[in-house]
Amino acid sequence: MAVPLPQHPDRPYTSGSLGYFHLRLVGPAPTLLLLRTDRLYSLSHSRRRGYRLRLLASPHRRRARDLLLSTYGCDLRLRHRSGTGSPSVNGRPLRAGTPTELAVGDEVSVLRCGTRYGFIVERFVSCRGVEVGAASTAGSCAEGLVFRAESLRKRLRAISESEDPLSLLRDCSGIGSLDVDVGPKKWRQDGAGELCLDNPVTPASEEKVLQGDCNFDQDKLENHLDVANDGDGELPFHGSKGCRDDNAEQPGCGSGNEEQYHSEACYSDGSTFFLNRLVGTGSDTRAEPQSGVTLPQLLHPVDSLVRVFIATFTSDISWFLNYCKIPQHLPVTIACHNKDRCWSASSENRTAAPFESHPKLLLVFPRFPEEIAFGQDRKKQGVACHHPKLIVLQREDSMRVIVTSANLVPRQWHLITNTVWWQDFPRRTSLDYAALFSAAEKQKSDFAAQLVSFIASMVNEVPSQAYLINEIAKYDFEGAGGYLIASVPGIHAQSPPYLESNYFLSAKHNVHAKSAHRMFIGSVQTSVVGLSHRFHMPLDAGKQLRALSAFFGKCRENMHGTTEVILKRNTNIPADANAVSVLVADLDQFTEEDSVQLGFLPREVAKWVAPLSDSGFFNFSGFIYPREALEAAYGVTNTKVQLLLYISKGPEFSQISGLISNEHFPPLCSLIASLQRCLGLWRLEEVLSNIKWPETLETDFIYSASSIGTSINPQFIASFASAAGKRPHQDFDSQESDPEWGCWTTNHELKKPSISLLFPTIDRVKKGACGIQLCRNLLSLPEKTWQRLRSTGIFHDAIPQPYARIGHPMHVKVAQRRFKSCFGEHSFGWTYCGSHNFSPAAWGQPLSPPSKANPSKARSSPSGPRLHICNYELGIVLIAPPPGMSKHASESRHRIEGIVLPFVIPPPRYKGSDRPATRLAMREAVAEACVVQGNDVEDLSEDTDEDVPDEDDEQVVELSDCSQQEKEEEKIYAETLWGQVDSSQSQEKD
């Protein structure tokens, strides 16, 4: 990599000075090179494949230093040593050892072995948005004066620092001219500099760099697309970057943003999504608001922010803080991926505060559950990824929710096409906690519930961040323009239906009262711990087993095969003040003496159940499967006994906004994170199932993603299509009694593929603005997936639009199903955008119940379907319903024609010779380029933006594997409680 120059103590480096110089080779292959403005480079001759110039990105070898290029701030300086040949600038010989400043339009040439090599300084792009090209002129009199003054200052400084100032004075005959209509040729003659308006900084001394500063640590901007090396520190002048000549007007290999618009705000009503603004596409967001949005625009005005929450996969925190000018004392929480920390068993490893300059910035590494690890062993880890891209901006009067496909790194905001959806929500006059628990039937009002549930799942084990739940209750999300679609890793069961409860947990006694459906909030699936110790260890175990069997014989099982149990607070147990016992008794004539205690709630559940019950905010009741409990008590199985915890509003729920305190935030956050909700495929089905989509009117069903999973097959595609609302038009092969009747099944998918997958061809990637290098860790399609599905004809080329974006990679995850109106009105349908790639890891793999042919597995496994999800993901679905079918007034503003997709529609189907940009295809293309260019191709394999984990090792999860055994720490916890319960009971008898 190139070496950053040391900072001058009197002129500290500022992010505003960062930019890129574009150098164009002179010769038959006019390759475009980019030099970052805080690096030191050198030029030398290469004998590989004949004499030619090469660029050394890291000038460690003194023998190779012929010409030295130093870039710092807005300065580009050239120096050479004797014996280099005959270097010249604009035809004037360059004196050995004399530094010369280069301006836009300057031409440098070197004579070597009778052949002249060289380059032209084509343009300079500053991260502040100032761009000067060889064909540009000052736009106004004022700008011309500023440009000319800056040029004059630089020229005078160069003269004062020169070893031979008289020769430079002779070369500057026009130095006194202040003509504002200065063109590039005049700039070249007068040495007009780069015309940068940022704070000028003194160029670093090359001598200081040569005295040992080349090992200066890499700064925090490593995610900028840089001039990298392939190990030996050199890059050829002939095309190693892969930037095409016809894309020269698009500085797509630079990372400086042409227009940041720090002082401009942006607005969206949530009815559509936008694209990020790319560097060098030539669009002007001031003239065309939909041409692109920048990250600073989304955060503007930064000074009014109260707090910021971000969820991302990869991140460059330093770049974000500098680029968006984040105040040092603004509370910022960033949930991000870290393979080791997210799989760690210790909650202490899941946070970090690495920035002393920003003391209120906290990094959170959300937990991957043990149940999705290989062999349910956290040490073996598994296929999992924290992959959402969410930004929540809180202000006193509003909260902005941003759902994007871009990670928090500069390249994805500057060089790669990504989608951005956002909407502002007003502040309420009073807190509304009911909105955090709104039922799924009221989908237009469940935006807050979905948002708070997703955030809670990420910060659940970080008590200091639990207050975020309370902050969301301050804002009104009723007018949300879309439906949030979240995925959270785990093996999820469908939420059980409402069950009427007779007994509720209370701090002092068990409340006997009939539950009301309108008070029901949700359910949590947990377990009973300590049951094996209770019935296997005591001397009276036989007596307890007989009593347990008798109670279960009298109990009434409901239609779901469960029966209610009694939950009791144990306030007199020193080991855990939050302990909750689970009792079995005759519910019609309940007395505590005439009951059998099964065990306890797990510690991690009891720590939030107890305080929320004690406060009166929530009521809790429990149900178990009697047969499962009996088998565990008799030792037939050693798996956990399931307990379904039902939650309803407590007597103080209506007063919660006035009674809640900081100590309630962590348990409330845990409750919200634990509530069973529809996720992944099930959530998509929940959102889209309310509308009966007319199959015969379908015109498009497409999905464009940057990653397609290894385990994609017709079964998963059918599951996704069914969840998306697709139904067979005529199904004569099945009867209405068939569970799959009316659903889109694998058989339907095999007969007629339902969806078109958009993925770029390898030829399109090769022709991109930055070639294959920028896509190698951005696109993911395993070769075996392509070979398995190529005959289905579902693959289509992903051609970016608008036209200015052709050549720039796409990182979008967009799906759309469109229908034509039979009445000649507007089209209708739905559109998804967000972070979900097309893979079971993101959307979830449906797991079927075990076969009845294996009764032991069927008995030990939970009944009903399950969904195995590996990743944290978040997206938004925008619905334009058929005419007259909208249930919500806010949907009336949606028009599917108003959603401009970032790719050409209809997408062209792969031709016979087309091949997608699979990992193998890209590796082969890179290897081919190495051969053609003499092994001088840079390697960006360590500079990763996306790097979606491979699914090649993904194991097929059997439903029987979902039954978990009691952990050792749970056994110790239960045994401790049992000992203290027995001791207290014996003392009471005495």
Q: Which residues are catalytic?
A: 387, 811
> E strands, 332-374, where?
332-335, 351-352, 361-364
Local structure of 411: helix, strand or coil: helix
- Measured CA distances, 810 to 380, 412, 781 (Å): 33, 9, 14
**8 strand-pairing partners:** 11
Ligand-binding site membership of 752 (annotated): no
* Residue corresponding to tokens 């711990």: 529
For 689, residues 6+ apart whose C-beta sits below 8 A from its C-beta are: 725
* Residue corresponding to tokens 């039937």: 441
* Phi-psi map region of 688: left, alpha, beta (phi>0 left; psi -120 to 50 alpha): alpha
- Contact yes or no for 374/382 (Cβ under 8 A): yes
For 231, residues 6+ apart whose C-beta sits below 8 A from its C-beta are: 939
- Measured CA distances, 520 to 503, 609, 620, 638, 650 (Å): 14, 16, 10, 32, 10
- Find the helix packing angle between 447-459 and 665-674, rounded to 10°: 110
d(CA 507, CA 41): 72
Q: Is the peptide bond prior to 165 cis by the omega test (within 30 degrees of 0)?
A: no
* Residue corresponding to tokens 């347990």: 548
Pairing type for strands 385-386 and 390-395 reads: unpaired
- Contact yes or no for 772/250 (Cβ under 8 A): no
H or E element that contains 470 = helix 467-472
- Nearest residue to 892 (alpha-carbon basis) of 296, 374, 479, 394: 479
Pairing type for strands 756-758 and 698-704 reads: parallel
d(CA 519, CA 618): 10
Give the N- to C-terminal CA distance of the chain in Å, as an integer: 78
- Contact yes or no for 848/869 (Cβ under 8 A): no
**491 strand-pairing partners:** 868
Q: Structure tokens of 829? A: 């349908």
**599 strand-pairing partners:** 582
Q: Cα 621 to chain center, whole Å?
A: 37
Ligand-binding site membership of 751 (annotated): no
Query: What value does the CA radius of gyration of the chain take, rounded to a whole number of Å?
Result: 33
Binding residues for substrate: 389, 813
Binding residues: 389, 813
